[in-house]
Structures are given as C-alpha cells and as structure tokens.
Amino acid sequence: MIRFKNSVIARTNLGKPSRVIVAGHIDTVPVADNAQAVLISKDGKLPSDGSSVSEDVLFGIGSCDMKGGVAVAFRAAATIENPQFDVTYIFYECEEIESSRNGLTLIAAEHPEWLTADIAVLLEPSNANIEAGCQGTLRANISTSGKRAHSARSWLGENAIHNLNAILETLNSYEPAKVLIDGLEYREGLNAVSISGGIAGNIIPDQALVEVNYRYAPNKSGADAEQHIRDTFKDFTVEFSDNAPGAMPGLDRPALADLVSRVNGQVAPKFGWTDVARFSAMGVPAVNLGPGDPGLAHSRNEFVPVSQLQKCEETVFSWLRG
C-alpha cells in the first residue's frame, strides 16, 4: 500500500496472468445542506427537501458521487484474498476540480507504472450497470465582430451581438451524429452554453461570442473534433478553450468480456466525460460500474439506493473472485 500525495494505491502481487485496476475518487463537491450521512428507510423523507424515497437509501454529500462506489472497492480490497487477477486499487484525490490537480494526473506524471493494467473499472455512479467508454468534450468560443458606435447613431456601427444570429441558426439546424461502436450507440451533441458581448448601455458592440460545447464520439480524435468545429463555423473566428478526447469501450478485452458476462451482457454507452478517458489515453480500456443515479450527483438530494450498493458489490466481487 502506498500513499502518494492525497491518493492511496494498494496492489496485489500474486503472479496472476493479468492485472486490473479498480478505482474511485475520494473527494466530493462542496456541501449543500447535506453534510450529515443518514440511512433513510423506504417511504422515509429526505432531510434536504422532505421528498419521500421508494426504497432504503443512504443520503448525504458524495453518497452517489462516489462514496458508494468507493465503499464497494474498500470492501473488495479488505475481503477478497485471492482474486483471479492481480488488482491495483486506486483511491485518488481531486476529481471534482481542475485536471492539473487530479490524482490520476499526478500519479501518471511521476509513477506511470502504477497505472499499468489490462483494463480499469471506475466505480462512478451508473445505476450499478456497466457504462462503457465515454464521449469526448470540447469547448470553443465562436466570435463575431462589428463596428463600435454610439447607440444614438447606430447606423454608423455594426452590431456584433446581432451578428451572432448566424451562429445560433447553425446550432439550431445542426444534426448531431449517432455513432455505433462495439454495438453501443454514442449520441453526439453541439450546444451553446453561454453568450457574451456588450460594452455599455449606449454603445453598439464590436465584439461578441458564443461558447459551444461539443460532445463527440470516442472514435474521434481531439484533432478531428476541432476540425469538425472549424468546418461547422467556417465563416467565424474559432478559439478552443478545452478539449478532452473520449475513451473507446474496449469490450473485446478478455477481462472486460468476463465482467460483461456477469451482467448478462447489459452494457450502455457513457455519454458524459469521465476519468475512463485518462486510462484510455494510457492504453488501458476502462468502463464505469458504480452504484447511484448520476443524475443525483452534486445535488442537494444526493443519495444512493442500498439495493444498488448490494448489486454493485455482487457484480464486482463475482468478477474479481472468478
């Protein structure tokens, strides 16, 4: 067992023919009146808003994202003495903030050998089902220009905000691709996420921009995604602010095929970006498999169903024990 900065890595060295990584982040988002963990029975009420629950749940900050998954991994590490694979358990810091402080990033920079494996399983919330790969995410600023003038003599200027209309029309008419990979359908998306422009209440603005977010299928490279945005907005100035390629499903790997068989082949694509992409970039195929509804992550009502904790534990334990 190794402590590296604020992450903990534990490795078996049993001479097994393959190695897998089981990982989860140990940080949470800031509390939102949900700091106290509470076990709530069926038909009980959430402390956050008084809404009732339809089954037994564990309520509290990070219960879904992702203390529930970390608890499953802790229990596996403590109780499975002879797994069918050698296992590297990684409990890492700072997933919820900027990438430069992410525990996996820090480990990869100084000890990449600790992240060597045939596959990785991240216990991120996925309703205790397997979500394979993940889509890439890109952000770009699409800008227009105009001519600055006094608003009382607007005919002397050209309004850059008005010129955004062509960008918005492009977004409204955009047809996102549906991409089939390993039998999974990834659905791309291109959307405006913010608009900025304007100088003062009596000035015709000469600059304005739309920030767009492009979610792209994992078979596209980051360069391909950027070129697609340039082609889509070829008449405008494009500046990229962030680009993180996705991760291929990798379901053809034997260790992943074994895991999939234990959920009767039920696998869904991961539409959001997760740290599986970091493993994919290092040549390690990865999937998400964790308890909790990702739609509850970061919310005041965050909870994880006890039934999903049990289901996830059964799946992971069965897989590791072989």
Q: What is the pLDDT of residues 144-195, one digit of tens each?
A: 999 999 999 999 999 999 999 999 999 999 999 999 998 899 999 999 999 9
pLDDT at 149: 96
| pLDDT at 167 (0 to 100) | 97
CA dihedral for 200, 144, 160, 164, sign (positive or negative): negative
pLDDT band with cut points at 50, 70 and 90 for residue 78? very high
* Domain range list for the chain: 2-134+247-321, 136-244
Fold classification of 136-244 (topology level):
Alpha-Beta Plaits (3.30.70)
Which CATH architecture does the domain made up of 2-134+247-321 adopt? 3-Layer(aba) Sandwich (3.40)
Query: In the 8-state DSSP scheme, what is residue 293?
Result: -
pLDDT at 47: 87
Mean pLDDT over 309-321 rounds to: 96
pLDDT digits (tens, 9 = 90+) for 9-49: 999 999 999 999 999 999 888 888 888 888 999 999 998 88
Residues tagged active-site: 27, 95
E strand intervals along the chain: 2-4, 7-11, 19-25, 38-40, 57-59, 86-92, 119-122, 130-132, 136-145, 149-150, 178-181, 184-187, 189-197, 203-204, 207-216, 237-244, 267-269, 286-289, 303-305
